[in-house]
Structure 1
Amino acid sequence: MAPLRLTFACGDYDRTRALAEGTVRPDGIEINYLRLPVEETFFRMMRHREFEVAEMSLSSYVLSLGSGGPDASPFVALPVYTSRMFRHSALYCHADAGITKPEELRGKVIGTPEYQLTACVWMRGILGDRHGVPFDSVRYVTGGQETPGRIEKAGVDLPDSVRISRIAEDATLARMLAEGEIDALCTPRVPSPFQAGDPRVRRVFPDVVAAEREYYTATGIFPIMHVVVIRRDVYEAHPWVAQSLYKALLAAKNEALDSLYDTSALRFMLPWLTPQLEEARALFGRDYWSYGLGGGNRETLETFLRYHHEQGLSPRRYRPEELFAPEALEAAVI
């Protein structure tokens, strides 16, 4: 029987490259791998369901569950975390906004390209839990960061406690931050004024690595940003694809993780790649980019799902198991 051909839209990652290059092949599946920027993948999948399989923002996926619960979503997720990242570096402020520590964000105006961005859900939750800045203690403005007109890729129906408005159609958050028209900006992408060394823009956490290490030491959380989803019609027609894809994605990730420790030549253009890898393993453990619900992932997802619900983005607090195809949570072979 001919293999099932599926298009998989995803970023260009070391942890998925074996699928893109065909050195790891899912059982019974032929992959057409599209390397796309994450914003494009998310938009096209959320709005138009263009791909059979795609990387997706964790927040957008949870939004897709809606009030109907997991079975109402047009997607089914796999516990595969193509992106994980601490996001203390995602908070920027205007130099004259009177913000010398994160606690001083309370009462300020914070820009964000989209309210529902996973990175911003995480940082709003962290600010509330650890810095005395509840999500509803600030005012939000949304819009394009570098070019005007960005809209939420997924519809959001927020409670009245969230004070939020859109910026002018011809405005950008990057310029507003540099000019002091907003106090701060929460964004996954480095804003252009900061890249250019504009002294009017700086990070809220000046020593990002120290702040993120302290956060991990205190919480054990390495934030999950993205998951992999299967379009529901594909999953319902071929339930076996969940296990096949999960096994292949896990094998690809493990292959990439092992190759990082090849000291014959640096795999990536980072001068201290090897000692940084050893340092990460000493802090996080050997499998610091684990998939599934083990290795602290359950607690990480529980925290995110609490934040998502508290911030008005989901009608109830989901359990981690509800997010994923059950076939991908059960090992066929021990």
Structure 2
Amino acid sequence: MTTSTTTKTLKTAIGGYGHHAALKDGSVTPDGVAFEHVEVAPIINAFRRMCRGQEFDISEMAITTYLAARRYGLPFTAIPVFPVRAFHNNAFAYNTDSGIKEPKDIEGKKVGVRAYTVTTGVWARGIIASDHGVDLNKVTWVLADEEHVAQFHDDMPSNASMQSGADLTKMLADGELAAGIGIAGREPPENVKPLIADRGAAADYYKRTGIYPINHTVVVKDELLQANPGLGQALFEAWKASKEKWLASATAEEKATAGHNIIEGDPFPYGLEANRKPLETIVQFAVEQRILPSKLNIEDLFAKGTANLS
């Protein structure tokens, strides 16, 4: 961003992670920018507010929420920073009385997930389809919450069934659902077990594919990016500097935990090229799951001037 004698205050909603600490405390700020941090807990509540009302100038956002937002031309664009990542290989749980013996047995059954475009659901469905041959179109996906991107309700796949406000955890335990994604609860009953029980499945997936799944990115209002052509790059550099401060002070154990005891070195790689494979994969999953009508160019997902940053 061009050096200026004036400072522009940008309303910002981001999670309170260690690698965001320097952004939150003001020790890292782009030239000419001051962050007005709006505390939103949990941070996922900010995603809907940004999609439906553009409440913030800058907002953290789930990657598949962002892809849905791009489909409908919502007026914000991401920078290639990815502050939350996770492996989703063990996200499915099933009711042991459902007759399910292997992942492919969820075909023809009802499977619960909070919302269709929730990122864990998209990754978990994509992985179970690619690794275990599950036909996702033969599953009835039972949803309990609205999508953050309201426009997607009109394009919901026909095999998705909304039961607004339903207690999916109870439905799974009671056998109304055969399985679910991320709904087993903190202390699942005896009849609810992981569909993929192997705790090494995530490490194996990473070893086989090199894919380190992205959960969240950060988006900026288009009007700001258009008015300030250097803003995207300046914000990227600020996010990178904040992360580097955390990396310099974090213990080896903290870094290992952040990398799910799988990723060595930087557990939060930023930049498009370092993340091309997971980005292309989540776009492909979104197409296969009818969240996107067709593939998007990865470079087009990010603010001008940021595609080559690392």
TM-score, normalization: structure 1? 0.84
What's the counterpart of residue 241 of structure 1? 231
| 8 Å contact kept, 1:94–1:202 | yes
| 8 Å contact kept, 2:93–2:193 | yes
| 8 Å contact kept, 2:272–2:308 | no
Amino acid at match of 2:93: Y
Aligned residues: 303
Give the superposed CA RMSD: 2.2
Residue deviations 1:214-257 (CA, integer Å, cap 9, x gap): 11111100100111000112222222221111100011112212
Amino acid at match of 2:291: L
What's the counterpart of residue 11 of structure 2? 7
The reply on whether 1:50 has 2:55 as its aligned counterpart is: yes
- Partner of 1:30, secondary structure, is strand
What's the counterpart of residue 301 of structure 1? 279
What's the counterpart of residue 147 of structure 1? none
- Partner of 1:77, secondary structure, is strand
Q: CA deviation at 1:179?
A: 0.6
The reply on whether 1:163 has 2:167 as its aligned counterpart is: no
Q: CA deviation at 1:326?
A: 2.2
Q: CA deviation at 1:171?
A: 2.9
> Structure 2 vs 1, CA of residues 170 and 260 (structure 1 numbering), >3 Å: closer, same or farther?
closer
The reply on whether 1:64 has 2:64 as its aligned counterpart is: no
**Unaligned regions of 5+ residues in structure 2, if any?**
none
- Partner of 1:326, secondary structure, is coil
Q: CA deviation at 1:278?
A: 9.6
TM-score, normalization: structure 2? 0.90
The reply on whether 1:317 has 2:295 as its aligned counterpart is: yes
Q: CA deviation at 1:20?
A: 0.2
Q: CA deviation at 1:104?
A: 2.5
- Partner of 2:129, secondary structure, is helix
- Partner of 1:329, secondary structure, is coil
Once the two structures are superposed, the pairs formed by residues 40-119 of structure 1 within 5 Å of their partners are 40-66=45-71, 72-119=73-120
CA distance in 2: counterparts of 1:176 and 1:82, whole angstroms: 32
Residue deviations 1:101-144 (CA, integer Å, cap 9, x gap): 3233222211111111111111111111110102212111111x
Amino acid at match of 2:120: A
What's the counterpart of residue 291 of structure 1? 270
Residue deviations 1:69-100 (CA, integer Å, cap 9, x gap): xxx43111000101110012321211212234
> Structure 2 vs 1, CA of residues 14 and 273 (structure 1 numbering), >3 Å: closer, same or farther?
closer
Percent identical: 32
Once the two structures are superposed, the pairs formed by residues 182-197 of structure 1 within 5 Å of their partners are 182-187=177-182, 191-192=184-185, 195-197=186-188
What's the counterpart of residue 227 of structure 1? 217
What's the counterpart of residue 181 of structure 1? 176
- Partner of 1:254, secondary structure, is helix
| 8 Å contact kept, 1:127–1:134 | no
**Unaligned regions of 5+ residues in structure 1, if any?**
144-149, 263-271
CA distance in 2: counterparts of 1:287 and 1:39, whole angstroms: 24
Q: CA deviation at 1:275?
A: 6.8
Amino acid at match of 1:198: P
| 8 Å contact kept, 1:114–1:151 | yes
Residue deviations 1:21-56 (CA, integer Å, cap 9, x gap): 112112211011223212211111111110000001
> Structure 2 vs 1, CA of residues 213 and 170 (structure 1 numbering), >3 Å: closer, same or farther?
closer
> Structure 2 vs 1, CA of residues 88 and 278 (structure 1 numbering), >3 Å: closer, same or farther?
closer
- Partner of 2:121, secondary structure, is helix
CA distance in 2: counterparts of 1:179 and 1:278, whole angstroms: 35
| 8 Å contact kept, 1:139–1:164 | yes
Residue deviations 1:126-168 (CA, integer Å, cap 9, x gap): 111110102212111111xxxxxx31221324476x411112x
Q: CA deviation at 1:204?
A: 1.4
CA distance in 1: counterparts of 2:165 and 2:124, whole angstroms: 27
Once the two structures are superposed, the pairs formed by residues 146-161 of structure 1 within 5 Å of their partners are 150-154=145-149, 155-156=151-152, 157-158=154-155
> Structure 2 vs 1, CA of residues 180 and 78 (structure 1 numbering), >3 Å: closer, same or farther?
same
CA distance in 2: counterparts of 1:278 and 1:200, whole angstroms: 31
- Partner of 1:222, secondary structure, is coil
CA distance in 2: counterparts of 1:278 and 1:89, whole angstroms: 16
CA distance in 2: counterparts of 1:109 and 1:278, whole angstroms: 33
User: Of 197, 208, 212, which aligns to 1:218?
Assistant: 208
Q: CA deviation at 1:298?
A: 0.3
CA distance in 1: counterparts of 2:43 and 2:194, whole angstroms: 24
Q: CA deviation at 1:274?
A: 7.2
What's the counterpart of residue 136 of structure 1? 137
- Partner of 2:94, secondary structure, is strand
CA distance in 1: counterparts of 2:279 and 2:258, whole angstroms: 24
User: Of 245, 258, 261, which aligns to 1:255?
Assistant: 245
